[in-house]
């Protein structure tokens, strides 16, 4: 849920050639751990400044264990 002046941002596209400049969010997105939100007008969005709901955090952790990112 967005509050105040926070606005969702389009999911950025990252290239593997800039690994040292990638953020943890970009890393998680590239691995498929986070997918963003569906917005009918603007497509998939990531909102890095917002709080994460418990079920979304659980989904990311479950994906990480399933994919072998976490053990």
Are the beta carbons of 67 and 34 closer than 8 angstroms? no
Q: What is the pLDDT of residues 9-24, one digit of tens each?
A: 665 554 544 555 568 8
Measured CA to CA, the distance from residue 63 to residue 21 in angstroms comes to 24
Q: How much is the pLDDT for 48? A: 77
State the residue for tokens 């979304």: 56
Of the candidates 12, 15, 13, the residue with the CA atom closest to the CA atom of residue 46:
12
pLDDT at 40: 84
Q: What is the mean pLDDT of each run of 10 residues along the chain (71 residues)?
A: 58 52 80 86 80 89 92 85
Tally of CB atoms within 10 A around 46: 19
* pTM for the whole structure: 0.59
Q: What is the pLDDT of residue 63?
A: 94
Q: What distances in angstroms separate CA 40 from CA 1, 36, 57, one per listed residue?
A: 16, 13, 23
């Amino acid at each position: 849920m967005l509050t105040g002046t926070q606005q969702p941002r389009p999911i950025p596209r990252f290239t593997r050639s800039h690994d040292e400049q990638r953020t943890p969010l970009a890393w998680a997105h590239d691995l498929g751990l986070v997918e963003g939100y569906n917005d009918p007008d603007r497509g998939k969005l990531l909102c890095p400044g917002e709080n994460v709901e418990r079920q979304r955090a659980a989904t990311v952790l479950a994906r990480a264990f399933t994919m072998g990112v976490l053990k």
